[in-house]
């Protein structure tokens, strides 16, 4: 399973499968809340072997599947 599919599955566990595109803003749509951020951070760190910083968890970096993929790729590249 590739990283996009892993992220989709994780998010869909919390949204009941209500995310319909990889660009959909899950916070703006009210599909998740601020408590989800902690769960998402743990998932990203464990699943992708990364260490996230506070600034990595800004909403713009985690608001959609595409944003999360971009964050992971940036962190993997040393950013």
Report domain extents, the chain: 3-9+23-76
| Distance of alpha carbon 46 from alpha carbon 24, whole angstroms | 24
| Distance of alpha carbon 12 from alpha carbon 7, whole angstroms | 8
Contact at 8 Å (CB) between 40 and 19?
A: no
Q: What are the residues whose beta carbons fall under 8 Å from the beta carbon of 1, sequence distance 6 or more?
A: 9
Q: Is the pLDDT of residue 79 over 90?
A: no
pLDDT tens-digit series, residues 25-39: 999 999 998 899 999
Residue 63 token pair: 């608001």
pTM of the predicted model, to two decimals?
0.93
Residue 10 token pair: 């994780």
């Amino acid at each position: 399973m590739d990283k996009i599919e892993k992220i989709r599955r994780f998010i869909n566990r919390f949204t009941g499968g209500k995310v319909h595109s990889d660009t959909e803003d899950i916070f703006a749509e009210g599909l998740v809340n601020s408590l989800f951020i902690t769960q998402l951070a743990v998932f990203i760190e464990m699943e992708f072997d990364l260490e996230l910083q506070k600034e990595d968890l800004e909403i713009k970096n985690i608001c959609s599947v595409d944003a999360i993929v971009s964050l992971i790729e940036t962190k993997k590249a040393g950013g």
